[in-house]
Structure 1
Amino acid sequence: MKQKVREELLQKRRGYEKAEEDALRIKERFLQLKDVKRAESILLYYPHKNEVNTIPIIEELLKTEKIVLLPRVKDQDIIPIRIFDLSGLKKGYAGIPEPEGNPFPVDRIDIIVVPAVAYDLNGHRLGYGKGYYDRLLKKVKALKVGLAYDFQVVEKLPVEPHDIPVDLIITPTRTINTKGGM
């Protein structure tokens, strides 16, 4: 079931023509969140395989006083690393650009932007099946935010005991509070 949903949505995302336009709408919604305005440190992902493009968000946040973090994969774990710009990233896990530098303490992260292939209305996510983010999310109290095109939000996904849901999902047209309410 998970694999079938993953394949269908990855295929749809690959050919999505409004990706750039929708990513800019998502950026505006994200940057307007009170939690983002209050946050000191934010871990984002570097976009891969037509994920919602976070580079405009990263560039905007780098102009502020916020601590901007990107993940580096080491063994089976995500290590948050502070960045000051997007130059100097090196190809890492799965060819995704990663920062170098010292690990940032996970307990000091205020917001984690979590990539996924799909989310459901309860905040459960369908990732790529490796569990990197679930392992990280178990260790933090940070606000967990998913960025998605509207078609990536489905009513219900299969859930496993180790799955950690996100608190908010931001699409081009809505912000979904998965803890109840809108």
Structure 2
Amino acid sequence: MDSKIDLRIKAKSIRKYLNISKISSLAVSKIRDVDIYKEARNVLIFYPMRYEIDLLALLDDDKNFYLPKVFDKKLFICPFKKGDKLEKSCFNVNEPCTSPVDPNVLDLIIVPALMVDKNGYRLGYGGGFYDRFLGENSFIKTIVPIPKELFVEKLPVEIFDKKIDVVITL
């Protein structure tokens, strides 16, 4: 089995050749059909980086949305709505300028991933921010949208890796 480092390189290479615009539209449509999304009032999404699925169309839905903000190796959640100002983080990621709130408000987290396996484990970017956050907030439901090209049989899993509740293949 390839190492996580090798898999990250492979996933980033594959993503460059995908039609992210089409995949993003499909992701938004499929997420809107999932019961845990329909029932959720407070949803953590992610701001898309290069070649990443863009879920910002969800901001049109009648829900409260939040974006992650990383500080001191910890993930915080901040309210976000269409038109809110963003700032670049030290990781060159767009983050909200609003103040963090208690994660207990969340009903759902839509988690980014480079790859996902058939057991519901995801391969992230390697910082562990989401896995630590999910470990501390295991009561919150999770969804990961993933292009079919990045949906694999099995990923290397470590003790701190958290399983996703709903995987949406695109």
Q: 1:30 to 1:88 in 2, by over 3 A?
A: same
Cα RMSD between the aligned structures?
1.2
Q: Indicate the residue corresponding to 1:150 in structure 2.
A: 148
Which residue pairs with 1:111 in the alignment? Answer: 108
1:22-171, aligned counterparts within 5 Å? Answer: 22-57=23-58, 59-61=59-61, 64=62, 66-140=63-137, 141-171=139-169
Question: Match for residue 4 of structure 2?
Answer: 2
Is contact 1:106–1:139 with CA below 8 Å preserved after alignment? no
* Unmatched 5+ stretches in structure 2: none
Cα distance, 1:93 vs. partner? 3.6
Q: After TM superposition, where is structure 1 displaced by more than 4 Å over at least 4 residues in a row?
A: none
TM-score by length of 2: 0.93
Deviations 1:74-93 (A, max 9, x none): 11111100112243111114
TM-score normalised by length of structure 1: 0.87
What is the percentage of aligned positions where both structures have the same residue?
Answer: 29
Contact 2:27-2:55 at 8 Å conserved across structures: no
User: How far apart are the structure 2 equivalents of 1:69 and 1:93?
Assistant: 19
Long gaps (5+) in structure 1 = 173-182
Letter of the 2:60 partner, please give it: E
